[in-house]
Amino acid sequence: MSIIGRLSTAIGLFLVAVALIVWALVSFLDPGTPGGYTDYTVGHSAGAPVSVNLQTVGSIGNGYGSHPTWVSYMQKDPATGKWIHDTSMILPANSVIHMTIDQYDSGSPLRNQEWGQVQGTIGSDATLNGKSFKVYDSYTGNGVGHTFAVPGLGVSVPLIGVNGNLTNICAQAPCGTLPHNVITFSFRTGAPGSYNWQCFVPCALGYLYGNGGAMSTLNYMGGFLKVVA
Amino acid sequence: MTNQSDNSTDQVHHLRRMTLMWVILSVVADILFSIFVAPHVPPGRLTETAAKDQTDFNVLFEMAVPVLFGVWIYMSYSLIVWGDKRNSNQAFSGDAARTNMKTQVSWIVVTSVTVLFLAAFGTYALIVDHGSGGGEGPNPAFAPSGALKAETAALVGKATWSPGSKNVLPVQVIAQQWKFTYRYPTFGGMESSQLIVPADTTIAFNVTSLDVIHSFWAYQLGVKADANPQVNNVAFTTTKDPGNFIVRCSELCGIWHGSMFNNGKVESQADFENWATTTEAANAANTALLPAFAWTYTPDANGAAGGYYPDGTQTPYSTVETYGSKQPS
Ligand SMILES: [Cu+2]
Ligand SMILES: [Cu+2]
């Protein structure tokens, strides 16, 4: 090979190596566009309340990834009205959020009954099928299926279970008219920031202490609230 | 002979010069440090433990400074005064290095004394400050007086602490994935997401977990104790003035570990009493549903019939012997 040929090969390989390094660095440093955030600030006028609708399902079923048996939250996309398998939201700061959660899963006693007490909501209460409550005794009735909790905002609400002996418990999201409880509550978002929310019922069946699997995977039993000004 | 005595006067001369530089620099540096830096050294002075931690850091630093300057001054002095001359054309033209028994012995003695002093000082601080805010396990070796009495009373639902009482206040720290909650046996065994403690009070933190290993780290309080399931890990500290602090989990515990923190407050005894009684009343309905106060709780990971909980009764927890006394059955 001629000198020119060898030189251009060397330079070419060098440039490829540099490009690879730059690409690796950039993709490592760039957090990317966070996927799966549902934006509730679109068309939102300052100070107006925001409505969010979630549902919890005992097993998400086919059509939402590789874990059809996992327990999961679902979110109703405010733009399309469709139920989506995303649990992160962009919410306006200093606003009231009206939350409605349709709970389709059965329940059990809480590991820590502390989460049976409604906390951090406006009025320190929530409603269960239209009836206000402040404390739910998880050792009675159908127990608690999941909780919706935002530790950074002090919010925690128990989601009361449906009768576990029913034969028509929803096993394929979205759940529609199958047996469920409707829990509503309102809370304030406060200052801008990123908050996580999670369920405090160790509901990941088959995992150590029930806290692996769905409890430890984004879009199942937890997500982020990005509160923006 | 003449040469020898010349040499020794020379040595004394060098030593005197180095010592003078060393003393001046060390004293100036230590004074500047203690005025401008020492009061701001973390973890601050929110508790006796934190204050002593700060003092310990400052003592260590102020002892390290003379050692540092001793080494630097001797090294620079040797390089400048005894080094090879720049225009020399000999292979080795600087002063020959010689052993000096006195220097060697002094070096070994001084460094040994320094290290041994710090070891003794550290041990003293550990004992006098009742474990210095570290978790001491279920049977603390260094418990402040009255701690066992207060803790035993707590177990049977009796309060020993009240404003001005100077008694130990037991507070239980319950870690779970992914949040700390706090139980106050002195106030009806109520549980709260908030950690508020009274000023000028010795607190016995009883740290445990409902699932995996976490760690209760209240940095500004100078307290750090692992939270193990089925273990009561006791850590003591005595609060000083009111102020704010942050609690973080410092044991990697899963997906939301990074979010496992909360703010805490040291409040005046009156404010604390007010908060505690108000919260006790507000939480009464839920407190009635909590398991009886115990040092540890044992959630059943497997349970019957595929559940995650032992039996669905009001006592999903087992008893474990800790802190020198059995739990009520
Ligand atoms: Cu859950
Ligand atoms: Cu943790």
Partners of residue A135 in chain B, C-beta under 8 Å: 285-286, 289
For residue B201, give the amino acid letter: T
pLDDT, one tens digit per residue, over B222-272 is 999 999 887 889 999 999 999 999 999 999 998 899 999 999 999 999 999
Distance B249 CA to ligand 2 centre (A): 5
| Assigned domain for B272 exists | yes
CA B73 to chain A, closest CA, distance in angstroms equals: 44
Q: How far is the CA of A123 from the centre of ligand 1 (A)?
A: 24
Chain A environment of B313 (Cβ under 8 Å): 139
Considering CB atoms only, which of B181, B193, B312 is closest to A109? B312
Tokens of B327: 């739990």
End-to-end CA distance of chain B: 89
Write down the pLDDT at residue B94: 65
Q: Which of residues 154-193 of A touch B (CB under 8 A)?
A: 154, 156
Judge if B176 and B89 occupy the same domain.
no
- For the sheet with A72-76, list strands across it: A83-84, A72-76, A50-57, A96-103, A181-188, A126-128, A131-133
| DSSP, res B47 | B
CB neighbours of residue A76 within 10 Å: 19
Give strand ranges (E) for chain B.
169-176, 179-184, 190-192, 195-198, 202-209, 214-218, 223-227, 233-238, 243-249, 261-267
- Give the one of B283, B285, B308 whose C-beta lies nearest to A202's C-beta: B308
Q: Are B180 and B220 in a shared domain?
A: yes
pLDDT value for A187: 96
Range of the domain at B87: 4-128
> From ligand 2's centre to the CA of B300, what distance in Å?
19
Closest residue, chain A, to B259 (C-alpha): A196
Residue-wise pLDDT for A207-217, tens only, equals: 777 788 888 88
Q: Are residues B267 and B154 in the same domain?
A: yes
Contact A200 B289 (CB under 8 A): no
Residues of chain A contacting B317 with CB distance shorter than 8 Å: none
Whether residue B259 and residue A152 make contact (CB cut-off 8 A), yes or no, is yes
Percent of chain A with pLDDT over 70: 96
- Beta-ladder partners of A117: A135
- Interface touch A135/B212, C-beta < 8 Å: no
CATH number at residue B240: 2.60.40.420
Chain B closest-CA separation from residue A9 CA (Å): 47
Q: Do B312 and A108 touch (CB under 8 A)?
A: yes
pLDDT for the residue numbered A164: 83
Q: Contacts of residue A124 in chain B, CB cutoff 8 Å?
A: 282
DSSP string, B287-298: HTTSPPP-S---
Residues A4-19 have a mean pLDDT of: 92
Q: How far is the CA of A191 from the centre of ligand 1 (A)?
A: 27
B107 and B178: one domain?
Answer: no
**Cβ of residue A87 closer than 8 Å to a chain B Cβ:** no
Contacts of A111 in chain B (CB under 8 A): 176, 210-211, 299, 308-309, 316
> Which one, of B316, B324, B287, lies nearest residue B186 by Cα?
B287
B213 Cα: distance to centroid of ligand 2 (angstroms)? 7
Q: Taking CB atoms and an 8 Å limit, are A196 and B259 in contact across chains?
A: yes
On whether residue B326 sits in a domain, the answer given is no
Claim to verify: residue B177 and residue B274 sit in the same structural domain: yes
**Is B296 in the A-facing interface, judged by CB distances under 8 Å?**
no
Confirm or reject contact between A142 and chain B (CB < 8 A).
Answer: no
Listed by number, the residues of chain B in 173-192 with a beta carbon closer than 8 Å to a beta carbon of chain A are 174, 176-179, 181, 191
Domains held by chain B: number: 2
Could you identify the residue written with the tokens 């040499």?
A: B7
Per the domain annotation, does B267 fall within a domain? yes
Which residues are registered as beta bridge partners of B204? B170, B236
Distance B253 CA to ligand 2 centre (A): 5
Q: Do B256 and A222 touch (CB under 8 A)?
A: yes
In a domain, B189, yes or no: yes
Instruction: Show contacts of B49-52: CB within 8 Å, 24+ apart.
Output: B49/B129, B49/B132, B49/B133, B49/B221, B49/B222, B49/B223, B49/B236, B49/B237, B49/B238, B50/B133, B50/B220, B50/B221, B50/B222, B50/B237, B51/B222, B51/B240, B52/B125, B52/B129, B52/B132, B52/B222
**Which one, of B133, B315, B283, lies nearest residue B193 by Cα?**
B283
pLDDT more than 90, % of chain B: 53
> Which residues lie below 8 Å from residue A114, measured CB to CB, with a gap of 6+?
B181, B191, B193, B286, B290
Instruction: Please give the residue that has the higher pLDDT: either B312 or A114.
Output: A114
For A164-197, give one letter per residue: b (16+ CB within 10 A) or e. beeeebbbbbbbeebebbebbbbbebeeeeebbb
B207 residue type, one letter:
V
β-partners of residue B169 are: B203
- Out of B191, B299, B312, the one facing A114 most closely (by C-beta) is B191
- CA dist., res. B319 & res. B144, Å (int): 25
With an 8 Å Cβ cutoff, are B289 and A222 in contact? no
E strand or H helix at A150, and its extent? strand A144-150
pLDDT value, residue B82: 80
Q: Are residues B152 and B180 in the same domain?
A: yes
B160 with B108, same domain: the answer is no
For residues A220 and A73, is the Cβ–Cβ distance under 8 A? yes
The closest alpha carbon to A136, from A120, A118, A116, belongs to A116
Q: Are A209 and B212 a contacting pair at CB < 8 A?
A: yes
B97 and B207 together in one domain:
no
| pLDDT for position A111 | 82
The interface predicted TM-score of the complex, written ipTM, equals 0.80
Cβ of residue A202 closer than 8 Å to a chain B Cβ: yes
Average pLDDT over residues A64-78: 90
Indicate the SS3 state at residue B114. helix
CA B276: distance to chain centroid? 27
pLDDT tens for each residue of B178-209: 999 999 999 999 999 999 999 999 999 999 98
- Identify which of B178, B212, B286 has the shortest CB distance to residue A113: B286
Q: Give domain status of residue B247, yes or no.
A: yes
Quick check: A133 and A125 in contact, CB under 8 A?
yes
Judge if B110 and B151 occupy the same domain: no
Task: Tell whether the model's pLDDT for residue A84 goes beyond 50.
Answer: yes
CA distance A70 to B8: 85
Residue numbers of A between 99 and 118 with CB closer than 8 Å to B: 108-109, 111-114, 116-117
pLDDT at B12: 61
Q: Which residues contact B15 (CB under 8 A, 6 or more apart)?
A: none
Q: Which residues pair with A119 in a beta bridge?
A: A156
Does residue A63 contact residue A112 with C-beta atoms inside 8 Å?
no
User: Which residues does chain B have within 8 Å of residue A195's beta carbon, measured at their own beta carbons?
Assistant: 259
Report d(CA B279, CA A71) in Å as an integer: 34
Pair (B109, B168) in one structural domain: no
> What gap in Å lies between CA A155 and CA A145, rounded to an integer?
17
How many other CB atoms are there within 10 angstroms of residue A155's CB atom? Answer: 24
Contact between B234 and B213 under an 8 Å Cβ cutoff? The reply is no
Å from CA of A146 to ligand 1 middle: 4
* Strand-pair partners of A225: A89, A195
| B151 and B261 assigned to the same domain | yes
Residue A19's SS3 state is helix
Nearest to B193 among A113, A154, A222 (CB): A154
* Chain A contact set for B299 (CB, 8 A): 111, 202, 209
In a domain, B306, yes or no: no
Q: What is the pLDDT along chain B (329 residues), one digit of tens a residue?
A: 334 444 555 556 888 899 999 999 999 999 999 999 999 999 999 999 999 999 989 999 999 999 999 999 999 998 888 877 767 676 666 667 778 898 899 989 999 999 999 999 888 888 888 888 899 888 888 888 888 888 888 887 788 899 999 999 999 999 998 999 999 999 999 999 999 999 999 999 999 988 889 999 999 999 999 998 878 899 999 999 999 999 999 999 988 999 999 999 999 999 999 999 999 999 999 998 887 788 877 665 443 222 333 333 323 333 333 333 333 33
Cα–Cα distance between B64 and B83 in angstroms, integer?
27
Instruction: Say if CB A134 and CB A122 are below 8 A apart.
Output: no
Q: Which residue has the higher pLDDT, B152 or A181?
A: A181
Same domain, B171 and B241: yes
